Amino acid sequence: MALSYYHLIPESVYCITSVSTRKTYRFQTSIGQFSYRTVKPDLFFGYNLASYDNRCFKIASAEKAILDYFYINPNIKNETDFISLRINRDSFIEQIDIVRLNEFLERFVQKTLTKRINSFLEFIKML
Protein backbone atom coordinates (compact mmCIF):
# COMPACT_ATOMS: atom_id res chain seq x y z
CA MET A 1 0.00 0.00 0.00
CA ALA A 2 2.81 2.44 0.83
CA LEU A 3 4.31 2.02 -2.64
CA SER A 4 0.97 3.07 -4.13
CA TYR A 5 0.46 5.81 -1.52
CA TYR A 6 3.77 7.42 -2.56
CA HIS A 7 2.96 6.92 -6.28
CA LEU A 8 5.96 4.65 -6.70
CA ILE A 9 3.82 2.08 -8.51
CA PRO A 10 0.97 2.80 -10.95
CA GLU A 11 -1.45 0.17 -9.65
CA SER A 12 -4.13 0.37 -7.01
CA VAL A 13 -3.63 -2.05 -4.17
CA TYR A 14 -6.22 -4.75 -3.54
CA CYS A 15 -4.49 -6.36 -0.60
CA ILE A 16 -3.05 -4.19 2.13
CA THR A 17 0.16 -5.76 3.38
CA SER A 18 1.47 -4.62 6.73
CA VAL A 19 4.64 -5.62 8.51
CA SER A 20 4.26 -6.62 12.11
CA THR A 21 6.27 -8.22 14.86
CA ARG A 22 3.37 -10.63 15.35
CA LYS A 23 2.44 -13.79 13.49
CA THR A 24 1.94 -13.70 9.71
CA TYR A 25 -1.79 -13.61 9.07
CA ARG A 26 -4.18 -12.95 6.16
CA PHE A 27 -7.90 -12.09 6.25
CA GLN A 28 -10.73 -10.58 4.21
CA THR A 29 -13.20 -7.91 5.35
CA SER A 30 -15.91 -5.92 3.61
CA ILE A 31 -13.42 -3.15 2.88
CA GLY A 32 -10.60 -5.32 1.54
CA GLN A 33 -8.02 -8.01 1.98
CA PHE A 34 -5.34 -7.61 4.64
CA SER A 35 -2.05 -9.41 5.06
CA TYR A 36 0.32 -9.12 7.99
CA ARG A 37 3.90 -10.23 7.44
CA THR A 38 6.27 -10.89 10.31
CA VAL A 39 9.50 -8.95 10.76
CA LYS A 40 11.95 -9.05 13.63
CA PRO A 41 11.28 -6.37 16.28
CA ASP A 42 14.58 -4.69 15.31
CA LEU A 43 13.13 -4.05 11.84
CA PHE A 44 9.95 -2.40 13.04
CA PHE A 45 10.92 1.25 12.40
CA GLY A 46 10.73 3.93 9.73
CA TYR A 47 7.05 4.81 9.90
CA ASN A 48 5.15 8.07 9.66
CA LEU A 49 1.70 9.04 10.87
CA ALA A 50 -0.70 9.81 8.02
CA SER A 51 -4.39 10.61 7.89
CA TYR A 52 -7.18 9.67 5.54
CA ASP A 53 -10.89 10.28 5.92
CA ASN A 54 -10.39 11.77 9.42
CA ARG A 55 -8.51 8.66 10.59
CA CYS A 56 -4.82 8.32 11.40
CA PHE A 57 -2.64 5.37 10.53
CA LYS A 58 1.01 4.45 10.50
CA ILE A 59 2.62 4.05 7.10
CA ALA A 60 6.19 3.18 6.22
CA SER A 61 8.31 5.98 4.83
CA ALA A 62 8.98 5.59 1.12
CA GLU A 63 12.48 4.28 1.85
CA LYS A 64 11.27 1.76 4.42
CA ALA A 65 8.45 0.62 2.11
CA ILE A 66 11.01 -0.27 -0.58
CA LEU A 67 13.17 -2.15 1.91
CA ASP A 68 10.22 -3.98 3.47
CA TYR A 69 8.96 -5.03 0.05
CA PHE A 70 12.33 -6.50 -0.91
CA TYR A 71 12.70 -8.07 2.54
CA ILE A 72 9.38 -9.94 2.41
CA ASN A 73 9.85 -10.82 -1.27
CA PRO A 74 13.31 -12.41 -1.45
CA ASN A 75 12.58 -13.74 -4.93
CA ILE A 76 12.99 -10.22 -6.39
CA LYS A 77 16.63 -10.12 -7.35
CA ASN A 78 17.28 -9.42 -11.03
CA GLU A 79 16.42 -7.00 -13.81
CA THR A 80 13.40 -9.01 -14.98
CA ASP A 81 12.02 -8.94 -11.44
CA PHE A 82 12.74 -5.21 -11.13
CA ILE A 83 10.89 -4.48 -14.38
CA SER A 84 7.86 -6.41 -13.10
CA LEU A 85 7.64 -4.04 -10.09
CA ARG A 86 6.79 -1.16 -12.46
CA ILE A 87 8.44 1.37 -10.17
CA ASN A 88 7.91 4.94 -11.36
CA ARG A 89 11.50 6.09 -11.81
CA ASP A 90 10.69 9.81 -11.61
CA SER A 91 8.72 9.40 -8.36
CA PHE A 92 11.48 7.19 -6.99
CA ILE A 93 14.21 9.72 -7.72
CA GLU A 94 12.08 12.60 -6.42
CA GLN A 95 11.06 10.95 -3.15
CA ILE A 96 13.70 8.44 -2.12
CA ASP A 97 16.52 9.78 0.01
CA ILE A 98 19.34 7.38 -0.88
CA VAL A 99 21.32 8.26 2.26
CA ARG A 100 18.29 7.46 4.44
CA LEU A 101 17.60 4.29 2.42
CA ASN A 102 21.16 3.10 3.04
CA GLU A 103 20.97 3.99 6.74
CA PHE A 104 17.80 1.93 7.04
CA LEU A 105 19.36 -0.86 4.97
CA GLU A 106 22.29 -1.13 7.39
CA ARG A 107 19.84 -1.88 10.20
CA PHE A 108 18.66 -5.00 8.36
CA VAL A 109 22.17 -6.50 8.55
CA GLN A 110 21.57 -8.79 5.57
CA LYS A 111 24.19 -9.15 2.86
CA THR A 112 21.79 -10.65 0.33
CA LEU A 113 19.24 -7.85 0.85
CA THR A 114 21.99 -5.26 0.52
CA LYS A 115 23.15 -6.83 -2.73
CA ARG A 116 19.60 -6.93 -4.11
CA ILE A 117 18.90 -3.31 -3.14
CA ASN A 118 22.18 -2.15 -4.68
CA SER A 119 21.33 -4.01 -7.90
CA PHE A 120 17.91 -2.39 -7.88
CA LEU A 121 19.41 1.07 -7.41
CA GLU A 122 21.73 0.46 -10.37
CA PHE A 123 18.70 -0.64 -12.40
CA ILE A 124 16.82 2.57 -11.49
CA LYS A 125 19.81 4.68 -12.60
CA MET A 126 19.82 2.96 -16.00
CA LEU A 127 16.14 3.63 -16.75
Quote the percentage of the chain above a pLDDT of 90.
75
Task: Say if CB 2 and CB 66 are below 8 A apart.
Answer: no
Q: What's the N-to-C CA distance of the chain in angstroms?
A: 24
Chain segment 39-79, per-residue pLDDT in tens: 999 999 999 999 888 999 999 999 999 999 999 999 999 99
Q: Residue ranges of the domains in the chain? A: 2-126
Task: Tell me what pLDDT residue 11 has.
Answer: 83
User: What are the percentages of helix, strand and coil residues in the chain, rounded to 5?
Assistant: 45, 25, 30
Q: How far apart are CA 95 and CA 124, in angstroms?
A: 13
Q: How many CB atoms lie within 10 A of CB 58?
A: 9
